[in-house]
Amino acid sequence: MTDAPLDWQVLARDGEARAGILRTRRGAIETPVFMPVGTLGTVKGVRFEELEAADLDAAIILGNTYHLWLRPGAEVVRACGGLHRFIGWERAILTDSGGFQVFSLSDMRRVAEEGVEFRSHVDGRLCFLSPEVSMEVQATLGSDIVMALDECPPGQTAHAQARASLELTARWAARSRARFDELQREGADLGRTGADGDLSGQQAIFGIVQGATHLDLRRESLARTIEVGFDGYAIGGLSVGEEKSLMYEVVEAIAPLMPSDAPRYLMGVGTPEDLVECVARGIDMFDCVIPTRNGRNGQAFTSRGKLNIKNARWASDTRPLDEACECAVCRRHTRAYLRHLFMAGEMLAAVLLSHHNLACFLDTMRRVRQSIRSDEFTRFRREFLVGINSGVE
Ligand SMILES: [Zn+2]
């Protein structure tokens, strides 16, 4: 009998970059890892069979507590036996706490010590989210990794306000941890599996470091999060409108101070370039909506930078989106066809561009992992950056 929900092993390092294996109750995840975002229980436009296929092979996806709590509601997911069964996905799921969406999507927020009152962006209903409610909803979802509830101030928040926010986040972290532990003891976690070797089969929980772009506050927030104690640690509140150089600066200063024996997760980031640059600064886990969101809007990420499928120059172009990509879309279809689908408003355009973009992100991370393991990350990083800045021809 053990009580560890996760096992984390670093296999290789190159500078601050780490390649490792994160064992969860639903399989082993090679890191650094990109987690496709399944906001409402779906990675938009991408079937689960495709996520499992060799060209994507996503080991873990994200679910959004805020969205699933408002629609279809925790009781529907409970009646269906938890999120894995509800959506038909056996691999690992991480759920966020709902905090970020409350602070970015809802109207009429009122933040108090106890929690945050807000109006649902779906139907205007008055709702209340607290650390306890977030933990209860995430136990019902039965995700494999739960996030503590944090307050998410804008990126350019002034020092005094960012300090008050991080102190509230620290108190919410302790309350999240306490309620999470109670729920585990009560058996409320609907995703629980049997114990596997040294893993307990229980949910894991990550804490979140806040502090906007103030490095002293980030360090303080990190210390207070470690004091509570979590299975992994995340940097929140970046990529929320601040300059990119500031984001890199915060990650570079904070990631190496995060516990080296736990996974480090940079929330909501970013482009392929951001992933590579933040792996180089010590990050192991990422999530972002841009592969699917930008795909739906006609933008493809390639090894030579971004490609706008609407551009008339592709009208009769018989090459794939990216000649270096081996995804199912690039093996079968031309730019000319994808442009035709997009211009005609066919839903398959969004499906195919989302698939290719996810393949691009996931394959970039595969190559990052290989290069760290073979001690070639520095060269990989240099060549990757030259490639994506060379321009699509
Ligand atoms: Zn492709």
With respect to residue 215, please indicate whether it lies within any of the assigned structural domains.
Answer: yes
- Residue 1: predicted pLDDT: 45
The torsion angles phi and psi of 128, rounded to 5 degrees, stand at: -135, 120
Q: Same domain, yes or no, for 278 and 306?
A: no
With respect to residue 122, please indicate whether it lies within any of the assigned structural domains.
Answer: no
182's CB contacts (< 8 A; 6+ apart) are none
Task: Indicate the residue type of 335.
Answer: R
Give the end of a domain, one of 288, 306, 331.
288
Q: Same domain, yes or no, for 305 and 342?
A: yes
pLDDT band at 2 (very low <50, low <70, confident <90, very high): low
Q: Same domain, yes or no, for 302 and 253?
A: no
- When divided into structural domains, the chain yields a total of 2
Range 302-329 average pLDDT: 98
- Choose from 100-104, 116-120, 192-196, 348-352 the range with maximum mean pLDDT: 348-352
Cα(15) to ligand 1 centroid in Å equals 30
Residue range 242-279, pLDDT digits in tens: 889 999 999 999 999 999 999 999 999 999 999 999 99
pLDDT band at 234 (very low <50, low <70, confident <90, very high): very high
Q: Same domain, yes or no, for 139 and 263?
A: yes
Q: Same domain, yes or no, for 158 and 274?
A: yes
pLDDT band at 239 (very low <50, low <70, confident <90, very high): confident
Q: Same domain, yes or no, for 338 and 222?
A: no
Residue range 56-90, pLDDT digits in tens: 999 999 999 999 999 999 999 999 999 999 999 99
Give the end of a domain, one of 240, 261, 288.
288
Q: What percent of the chain has pLDDT over 70?
A: 99
Cα(352) to ligand 1 centroid in Å equals 9
Cα(302) to ligand 1 centroid in Å equals 8
With respect to residue 180, please indicate whether it lies within any of the assigned structural domains.
Answer: yes
- Residue 104: predicted pLDDT: 85
Residues annotated as catalytic (active site), given as ranges = 96, 287
DSSP secondary structure letter of residue 288: E
With respect to residue 74, please indicate whether it lies within any of the assigned structural domains.
Answer: yes
Q: Same domain, yes or no, for 138 and 263?
A: yes
**Tokens 């408002």, residue located:** 70
Q: Same domain, yes or no, for 218 and 309?
A: no
Q: Same domain, yes or no, for 12 and 85?
A: yes
pLDDT band at 153 (very low <50, low <70, confident <90, very high): confident
With respect to residue 312, please indicate whether it lies within any of the assigned structural domains.
Answer: yes
Give the end of a domain, one of 262, 288, 314.
288
Residue range(s) defining the domain that contains residue 367: 295-384
Cα(385) to ligand 1 centroid in Å equals 19
Q: Same domain, yes or no, for 144 and 240?
A: yes
With respect to residue 112, please indicate whether it lies within any of the assigned structural domains.
Answer: no
Judged against a pLDDT cut of 80, whether residue 216 lies above it is answered with: yes
* Cα 298 to Cα 290: distance, rounded to the nearest angstrom: 11
Judged against a pLDDT cut of 90, whether residue 204 lies above it is answered with: yes
Q: Same domain, yes or no, for 370 and 256?
A: no
Judged against a pLDDT cut of 70, whether residue 185 lies above it is answered with: yes
With respect to residue 148, please indicate whether it lies within any of the assigned structural domains.
Answer: yes
pTM recorded for the entire structure: 0.97
Token pair for 223: 């210390």
Question: Residue 90 sits in a domain of what CATH number?
Answer: 3.20.20.105
- CA dihedral over 96, 276, 242, 247, signed as positive or negative: positive
* Cα 23 to Cα 195: distance, rounded to the nearest angstrom: 13
* Mean of the per-residue pLDDT values of the chain: 96
Cα(369) to ligand 1 centroid in Å equals 19
Number of CB atoms found within 10 A of residue 182's CB: 14
Q: Same domain, yes or no, for 166 and 97?
A: yes
With respect to residue 278, please indicate whether it lies within any of the assigned structural domains.
Answer: yes
